[in-house]
Chains A and B, each alone.
Chain A
């Protein structure tokens, strides 16, 4: 029996996608396939058309190769326009011949609408749809200086950017009062306009072009209805698209009043053997001008042709996220609040150039739509709320407020249902992703290859990654949080195990809950946990082998094997006498002396055996350890405050000293830094610290989770106008919660950013005691504070502990021969270079 013939008219994005689906399906074996394309190039990615101006070639944009077509036995006719369809005889006709079909697919896309303006046939007028269009525009831009785009919609702005990239002075002429009237509201449009004008594209709104005539200074002159005019060298029309339904009309298929080939849920036209998909199809009075709905139609039709009677196209989401001329624009669902009873929440920051609007249901529970201009970072989360009907949080505004004002972080991937659509281009749900992972995909690349997610417009890339990571993590793949090969637990798990079971030594912990004997990863981490729980001296026999060298010797090892000494100088306040002692000791042992970034003095170059002697002297003068070596509180930086400063409103030095004494010695997942400023001038830079305190007229403002260092982060305002007591109990709780729940070597900043619920959640736990553990946290802190000891004092007083500080146990007088010195700026420094 000979095969039936399937003909596809149109070799664009959707037509090609249909072929990909269809050739991979069982029904393909029963068909010979012929494809006609009017354009001379094989189907290419029109969505990324503009990249043609920034260096991409047709090959880069192509959706397949000619080989792919021949390998799949598809008879491809490019540059061959179909001019007629004879439904009775089931044939199509091109200028080259007539071909018979059994099933016909119309995937003819759409064409740009050019308003009937006098003079529009001028050779300097273009549209923006195909590679040929772009070639023509490029050629015309040679010698031109100005370009105008007619139409301020999505494509018009993209075209304006293209003109700019060709070096032209770009203008946009829009008939409506604002830009992107379909997707944006007045405020959003106004902000977008401002931003675009800042980028050098001039916007002329409420202009109706009446005629295009010869220009005086430029090639053309556009006359407007209000008797103004604009001179330009070339014009690009981008005033909307119209479905390409010419063939359908001439063969009398049913079409819409305003164009479009009418299809049912099966993507079939009024003729059961003719189907239409993509931008030419009119479904439920709607034309879909985006690629994702077209792809869904393509998949549906392929299923239908395979006899799947359940397959149906049931509409598509038209949400869009774009970067137009570098400006983020997003529009989701019912952006214009057309749903009865819908309410709006708006956030606008004209200064930063951000506008966000949420449209929520009358009962306040669901997100119906949204508009974003200036910053699309909220898009993915909002889209998921809207698409999946996820219940909004109690304070929905947090979804669009900046984080510093209590904004909620992104919706965690766990909150998404399995049906949540992650990639709309390829209709990939969270469930599909999980399925791919279960079937053996163990990284992002494999999941992409299997599901094709994020290989379309690319808009879902970030979301896909979070979902994949989180799912892999759940299955214990690669992104494992295991501490190391010895413990299949996170630091937080281990903390709970230690605490709940009252475990006091590493040995017991690893015997009961781990394997092997430990390593340089788990030992210090467990040492820190044990210290937080039981606060025993770090140099007791059980704990000493767990410590990093810096903790073992309570000093920081330098590149030549010597150590630095950092005595505590609380709040940076120091008496002249104490300063003199530091100077004397440093002179006696020839230590390099430097003021640190933490408002204290670092003495470098002590040998191991000198450490206890030096500390004896420092302790005698009233110093104590500064924990510069520990994962614990470093310094509490202060400004001089109201005791001296004319602006100070509180005693910032006093508070800094108090805090430093309170929290010194607290072992934590990573180091802790604090600062207290005496007024909002913020001389102590408190907002860059883990805990920052700024004085107010009425008390203290508390900031948390700031970070300097490799990835600076401003601290978040946590509570305002606290009393001394209120400040202390709040800090107690924040710190204890951090110490209990953070990962190994996780600063407070990263801890907070990774916390489900973020700042808002932390506030609930600490300020509202939502977990009911506030008292317990404070009590735990009180225990630690009351068992503080200066580790150095205990160590120098204990001969057993002092024994550890012998460089060579059998040769006390031996000087380490590799420690060679030179002098620089009047002080000693190591000669040794790392090898």
Chain B
């Protein structure tokens, strides 16, 4: 068993799409990573699962900001989720998981709180 908190490489900079999201598969489930070039830090990671439909689609939503808060809009039913806290703006009882993510050279590293993660990305 490895240590509980691991910063694993999930993809590279080339996989990212400016101002949009991509999805990666992790042992903690699917995670959406957003690259917002005009923000510092520029990377955000939240669960890819849309809590309202149960589908894995959040990375495919439109990003933006509402009253300064960086958000993504679910592509299915259009609720907004904070990229920082995962909070749903339309329903205070709903929140999606957030992850810490950082850029290490060309590699995108995601912090996964689990023991048995094996990086799949090259």
A residues with CB within 8 A of B: 485-486, 516-520, 522-524, 541, 544-550, 552-553, 557, 559-561, 608, 803-804, 806-811, 814, 816, 818, 832, 834-835
Contacts and interface: CB of A to CB of B under 8 A. Distances in A.
Interface string B72-99: 0101101010000000000000000000
Nearest to A527: B62
A834 B54 contact: yes
Interface residues of B, number: 41
Contact of B120 (A519, A547, A810, A816): A810
A549 B60 CA distance: 6
B84 to A, nearest CB: 14
Contacts of A810: 10-11, 15, 24-25, 119-121
Contacts of B68: 516
Interface string B3-30: 0000000110001011110111100001
B45 interface: no
Interface of B: 10-11, 15, 17-20, 22-25, 30, 36, 38, 49, 51-57, 60-68, 70-71, 73, 75-76, 78, 80, 119-121
B65 A518 contact: yes
Centre residue among B11, B76, B121 by max chain A CB count within 10 A? B76
B112 to A, nearest CB: 12
Given A809-B24, A814-B25, A835-B53, A557 B62 contact: no
A218 to B, nearest CB: 66
A546 B20 CA distance: 9
A811 B120 contact: yes
B25 A519 contact: no
A517 B64 contact: yes
Q: Which 3 A-B pairs have the closest CB atoms?
A: A549-B75, A519-B64, A545-B19
A519 B71 contact: yes
Contacts of A544: 17, 20
A808 B25 contact: yes
Given A520-B80, A523-B64, A561-B55, 4 more contacts: A517-B64, A561-B57, A807-B23, A810-B120
Contact of B56 (A516, A518, A561, A803): A561
Nearest to B33: A809
A520 B80 CA distance: 9
Centre residue among B62, B65, B66 by max chain A CB count within 10 A? B62
Contact of B67 (A485, A547, A803, A818): A485
A547 B73 CA distance: 12
A607 to B, nearest CB: 11
A834 B52 contact: yes
Contacts of A552: 20, 60
A523 B66 CA distance: 13
B62 A811 contact: no
A541 B18 contact: yes
A668 to B, nearest CB: 19
A818 to B, nearest CB: 6
Contacts of A560: 53, 55
B76 to A, nearest CB: 7
A523 B23 contact: no
A151 B26 CA distance: 86
B73 A519 contact: yes
Contacts of B24: 808-811
A803 B15 CA distance: 8
B19 A559 contact: no
B13 to A, nearest CB: 12
A561 B59 CA distance: 11
Contacts of B60: 549, 552-553, 557, 608
A816 B71 CA distance: 24
B75 A548 contact: yes
A545 B76 contact: no
B57 A520 contact: no
Contacts of A523: 62, 64
A439 to B, nearest CB: 30
A47 to B, nearest CB: 46
Nearest to B75: A549
Contact of B78 (A520, A550, A561, A835): A520
Contact of B62 (A516, A520, A809, A814): A520
A559 to B, nearest CB: 7
Contacts of B75: 548-550, 557
B20 A548 contact: no
B20 A809 contact: no
A608 B80 CA distance: 22
22 contacts: A485-B66, A486-B64, A516-B65, A517-B38, A520-B62, A520-B73, A520-B80, A523-B62, A545-B17, A545-B63, A549-B57, A549-B60, A559-B53, A559-B76, A561-B56, A804-B17, A806-B22, A809-B11, A810-B24, A814-B25, A835-B52, A835-B53
A608 B78 CA distance: 19
A286 B106 CA distance: 92
A561 B51 CA distance: 13
A546 B17 contact: no
Nearest to B119: A810
B54 A818 contact: yes
A818 B66 contact: no
Contacts of A557: 57, 60, 75-76
Given A519-B71, A810-B10, A818-B56, A546 B62 contact: yes
B5 to A, nearest CB: 19
